Copies of this chain bind each other. A is one copy, B any other.
Amino acid sequence: MYDFMVFDGIEETDVKKLLTEFNALTLHYKKEATILSNVSNTSSFFIIQSGKANIIRYNFNGTKTIMERMDKGDIFGSFSGTIDDDLYVIADTDTDVIVFEYNKLIQRSGKNIDAHNKLIDNVLNKIADKLTSYNERIEVLTEKTIRDKLLKFFGYLSKKQITKAIVIPYTLSDLADYLAVDRSAMMREIKNLNDDGLIESKGRYINLKY
Contact = CB atoms under 8 A, between A and B. Distances in A.
Contacts of A123: 124
A83 B136 contact: yes
Contacts of A42: none
B180 A82 contact: no
Interface string A142-178: 1110000000000110011000000000000000000
Interface in A126-142: 127-128, 130-132, 134-139, 141-142
Interface stretch (A11-19, A73-81, A91-99, A191-199): A73-81
A141 B149 CA distance: 13
A8 to B, nearest CB: 14
23 contacts: A1-B83, A57-B139, A78-B128, A79-B131, A80-B131, A81-B135, A82-B135, A83-B132, A83-B136, A84-B139, A84-B156, A106-B117, A106-B124, A107-B117, A131-B134, A134-B134, A134-B135, A134-B138, A137-B138, A138-B138, A141-B142, A142-B180, A143-B180
A204 interface: no
Interface string A51-90: 0000001000000010100000000001111111000000
A121 interface: yes
Interface of A: 1, 40, 57, 65, 67, 78-84, 106-108, 117, 120-121, 123-124, 127-128, 130-132, 134-139, 141-144, 155-156, 159-160, 180, 182
A180 B144 contact: yes
A20 to B, nearest CB: 21
Contacts of A155: 84
Given A83-B156, A138-B141, 14 more contacts: A57-B139, A79-B131, A79-B132, A80-B135, A82-B136, A83-B132, A84-B159, A106-B121, A120-B120, A120-B124, A127-B128, A134-B134, A141-B142, A142-B180
Contacts of A130: 131
A81 B128 CA distance: 9
